[in-house]
Structure 1
Amino acid sequence: MAKLKKRDQSLDGSGLTHCKFALVFAVLMDFLGVASLLTGVFAPLEIKGRDFGDLLVYSGALLILFSMAGWVMWYSGNIEGLAVGKELTYKRSAVDRLARSLSRRIRRPHRSHSEP
């Protein structure tokens, strides 16, 4: 039964959208990085005798590197089947508590102060 549920979840695609912000960040950084890299390589970018192609090539490579962090966050956020801390019977560390509290703050929708 669990295999059937897992297979159905993977078919409809809802199982891969736990970390939508990380996915959007990764895709956006990939797009901007590749665009910057290709523009720096193929476009003649001279302003007042200075070549700015190298700047775009290096910044594109950095944006692609940043996208890797987004892909790792997205992938690790979609891993399922990990044992919960209570099942492992381990004592929670300060780092674990901090990570959980930050995760809850990010997931919680922000309310504006102007609403009653």
Structure 2
Amino acid sequence: MSSGLTRCKLVLVFAVMMDLFGVTSMLIGVFASLEVRGRDFSDLLVYTGALLILMSMGGWVMWYSGNIEGLAFGKELGYRRTVVDRIARTLSRRIRRTHRGHSDL
């Protein structure tokens, strides 16, 4: 169970941080009266919080999809490779190499 958290750590941290900042921003915008020189900034905080939470959803989708196991490979299903498959595989390998170089941070 804990092995699922070891993959895509950076995306998990991103999603959690965006959730925390978004909820905090929304709560401050709703419950605190923030006026500077007669202008109310509560709406700005609420909208910013909603945007951060929306961004975190993308992070959660990426983290979840990066932790999916047990998918059948195309060879097992009799699938034939195409040019798009080769391009996707090449990009994936490049991204994986650059990520492994920075994973010791």
Matched residue count: 100
The residue identity in structure 1 corresponding to 2:68 is: I
2:81 to 92, 95, 99: 92
Structure 2 gaps of 5+ residues are: none
SS of match in other structure, 1:85:
coil
Q: Report the equivalent of 1:114.
A: none
Q: What amino acid is aligned across from residue 79 of structure 2 in structure 1?
A: Y
Task: Find the counterpart in structure 2 of residue 52 from structure 1.
Answer: 41
Query: For residues 52 and 65 of structure 1, do their structure 2 counterparts lie closer, same or farther at Cα, with a shift above 3 Å needed?
Result: same
Q: Cα offset for 1:90?
A: 1.3
Amino acid at match of 2:90: S
Which of residues 25, 35, 55 in structure 2 aligns to 1:36? 25
Of 40, 62, 69, 1:73 maps to: 62
Please give the secondary structure, in 1, of the residue aligned with 2:75.
helix
Q: How does 1:9-28 map to 2 (within 5 A)?
A: 10=1, 13-28=2-17
The alpha carbon displacement at 1:94 in A equals: 4.5
Structure 2 length as normaliser, TM-score? Answer: 0.80
Gaps of 5+ in 1: 1-9, 112-116
Q: CA RMSD in A?
A: 2.0
Query: TM-score normalized by structure 1?
Result: 0.73
Q: Which runs of 4+ in 1 moved over 2 A?
A: 91-107
Identity of aligned residues (%): 72
Whole-Å Cα distance in 2 between the matches of residues 95 and 21 of structure 1? 27
